[in-house]
């Protein structure tokens, strides 16, 4: 993790990001994006890969997902810019809501930050209702408290009623 701002840099915070893909060479695309992320953050944990039934639009290929816990000095907006850059580098070009995608990078958590602004919501607004988010996140940050719920990732997973299938690979 490189530092460009000397003593003015905020201390690193732990972020949990979720990577997903359901187009093309999914495993390679996700692994390449995690590798690129590791050049700008300090990876602390990487989950196993999960296959998940698509949410929102059922007539599309299943997604592969994994979660990463990383220490980052990026601001919330800087981390969002990094996530969007990783998506673009993987060939993502817009698309329908909940539709197929080459790569999706979501910020699930950033320390204890609570941000609700147009274009940036942290913690991820619907992570508590989505098993495909919670299973890999619980693997890398089981005790992380999701501040908008006051519960840990594991507690949210235990309470999750999402009926969609998620399988560890």
Task: Band the pLDDT of 3: cuts 50, 70, 90.
Answer: very low
Catalytic annotation, residues: 92, 101, 104, 106
> What pLDDT does residue 137 have?
98
Report the 10 Å Cβ neighbour count for 115.
13
17 Cα distance to chain centroid: 3
CA angle 122, 124, 127 (to 5 degrees): 150
pLDDT, tens digit (0-9, with 9 covering 90-100), for 40-91: 999 999 999 999 998 776 778 899 999 999 999 999 999 999 999 999 988 7
49 CB-near residues (< 8 Å, 6+ apart): 27, 30, 64, 65, 66, 168, 169
Q: How many CA atoms lie within 13 A of 23 on its CB side?
A: 13
- How do the residues of the chain divide into helix, strand and coil, expressed in percent and rounded to 5? 30, 30, 45
What CA–CA distance (Å, rounded) separates 20 from 167?
14
pLDDT, tens digit (0-9, with 9 covering 90-100), for 8-44: 666 789 999 999 999 989 999 999 999 999 999 999 9
What CA–CA distance (Å, rounded) separates 92 from 4?
28
Domain ranges of the chain: 7-125
The H or E element that residue 13 is part of is strand 13-21
With pLDDT > 70 as the criterion, what percentage of the chain qualifies?
88
What CA–CA distance (Å, rounded) separates 127 from 109?
10
The H or E element that residue 77 is part of is helix 76-89
Architecture of domain 7-125: 2-Layer Sandwich (3.30)
Of 49-53, 97-101, 156-160, least confident by mean pLDDT is 97-101
């Amino acid at each position: 993790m490189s530092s460009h701002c000397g003593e003015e840099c905020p201390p690193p915070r732990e972020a949990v990001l979720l990577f997903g893909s359901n187009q093309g060479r999914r495993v390679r695309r996700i692994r390449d994006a995690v590798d690129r992320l590791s050049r700008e953050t300090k990876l602390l944990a990487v989950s196993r890969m999960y296959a998940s039934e698509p949410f929102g639009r059922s007539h599309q290929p299943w997604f592969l997902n994994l979660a990463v816990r990383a220490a980052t000095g990026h601001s919330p907006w800087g981390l969002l810019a990094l996530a969007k850059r990783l998506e673009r580098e993987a060939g993502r070009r817009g698309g329908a809501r909940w539709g197929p995608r080459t790569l999706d990078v979501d910020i699930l958590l950033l320390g204890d930050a609570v941000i609700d602004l147009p274009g940036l919501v942290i913690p991820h607004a619907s992570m508590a209702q989505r098993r495909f988010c919670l299973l890999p996140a619980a693997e890398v940050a089981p005790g992380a408290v999701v501040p908008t719920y006051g519960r840990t990732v594991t507690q949210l997973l235990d309470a999750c009623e999402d009926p969609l299938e998620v399988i560890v690979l």
